[in-house]
Amino acid sequence: MIPHDRQKAGLGGRPSLQMQKMFHRVMQADPMAVRQALIDIRARFGDDVSHDTIGRLELVLAEVMNNITEHTAPSRTDGLRRSASMIHLSIVRDSTGLACAVSDDGQSLPEDCLRPRTLPEAAHPDMPEGGYGWFLIQDLTQALCYYREGSRNFLAFNIPFAA
Amino acid sequence: MQFIVADGGPYLHVTVQESRIDAAIATGFKDKLRSIVVTAKKPVLLDMRGVDFMDSSGLGAMIAVRKALPENLPIVLDGVTPNVERVFRLTRMDRVFRINAIAIEGND
């Protein structure tokens, strides 16, 4: 098959295919790298999706990557000096929303994170200051799935256009 | 960490000068803002017009600041942008702060 034919495969010979915007970034698991990626994602998709959708995307990705950053500290027991985990992030716009895939080479994700979460019932002054991240991720995503392969974690989910 | 503080009226007026309250700055944000609000012994009006993003670590910082004041001294969050309001609403922390939101823009 010559390259020209291959490009047309499955498209019924139509000369053009509707290109969907995507974003890919490989970065160190570091709060400033995460912040910059989120700013760049807003710039990439901001013209195409609503403020509401981009806001939900930004929040979920922040929570996912913050968790990776927090749990990437080298283990003291392994006796080996490890560099910071590397995060690989891909986002593709499709017809229903923004499909996201995040992988990293940090510790494996505790199963508890993926179990259904409820918010703590708390009133002043006993409000917990943490524990909201996975609640937000679960609340704002669809088709959230996780697997570990070798030393890498893979997390995939969709941010729907309509909440 | 930049805040503008005005202590003239019934409220301590504090304006947040950061556009993002995220994991990169949450700890410094919490420590600085807490030290500002505990000295005044009066309710706080926190101007958040300039904040267009907050994650759960930023929320945690806000909760820590809230807990530093007794219940009878409210913290009013003024000019909360839709992106920030979402985090307070979804985590039901809109019951702990008084929130004056900016009108939400159109959806998809």
Higher-pLDDT residue of A7, A24: A24
Q: Do A130 and B56 touch (CB under 8 A)?
A: yes
Task: Provide the pLDDT confidence category of residue B46 given band limits of 50, 70 and 90.
Answer: very high
| pLDDT at site A134 | 94
Q: What is the ipTM of this complex?
A: 0.92
Residue among B29, B57, B97 with most chain A CBs within 10 A, to mutate? B57
What is the residue extent of each domain of chain B? Answer: 3-101
Report whether pLDDT(A1) > 70: no
Q: Do B82 and A63 touch (CB under 8 A)?
A: no
Average pLDDT, integer, range A13-22: 69
Cα–Cα distance measured from residue B42 to residue B73, given in angstroms and rounded to the nearest whole number: 6
Report whether pLDDT(A100) > 50: yes
CATH of the domain at A118: 3.30.565.10
What is the sign, positive or negative, of the torsion defined by CA atoms of B89, B95, B98, B100?
Answer: positive
Give per-residue pLDDT as tens, A108-144. Answer: 998 888 888 888 777 777 888 998 999 999 999 999 9
Cα–Cα distance measured from residue A96 to residue A106, given in angstroms and rounded to the nearest whole number: 31
Helix extents (H) in A91-145: 133-140
Range B3-101 has CATH code 3.30.750.24: yes
Total number of domains in chain A: 1
Question: Which is nearest to A106 in space by CA: A85, A87, A83?
Answer: A85
A10 assigned to some structural domain: no
Report whether pLDDT(A75) > 60: no
Task: Provide the pLDDT confidence category of residue A80 given band limits of 50, 70 and 90.
Answer: low
Average pLDDT over chain A reads 85
Task: Provide the pLDDT confidence category of residue B106 given band limits of 50, 70 and 90.
Answer: very low
| pLDDT at site A3 | 52
Task: Provide the pLDDT confidence category of residue B107 given band limits of 50, 70 and 90.
Answer: very low
- Return the residue of A nearest to B64 by Cα: A129
Selection from A7-11, A21-25, A108-112 with the highest mean pLDDT? A21-25
Residue among A39, A60, A132 with most chain B CBs within 10 A, to mutate? A132
Report whether pLDDT(B83) > 80: yes
Cα–Cα distance measured from residue B100 to residue B108, given in angstroms and rounded to the nearest whole number: 24
Note down the domain range covering A137. Answer: 21-73+83-160
| pLDDT at site A76 | 46
| pLDDT at site B67 | 94
Cα–Cα distance measured from residue A136 to residue A76, given in angstroms and rounded to the nearest whole number: 31
Helix extents (H) in chain A: 3-8, 31-45, 51-70, 133-140
A106 assigned to some structural domain: yes
- Return the residue of B nearest to A120 by Cα: B91
A3 assigned to some structural domain: no
Average pLDDT, integer, range A74-100: 78
A7 assigned to some structural domain: no
Give per-residue pLDDT as tens, A35-54. Answer: 999 999 999 998 889 999 99
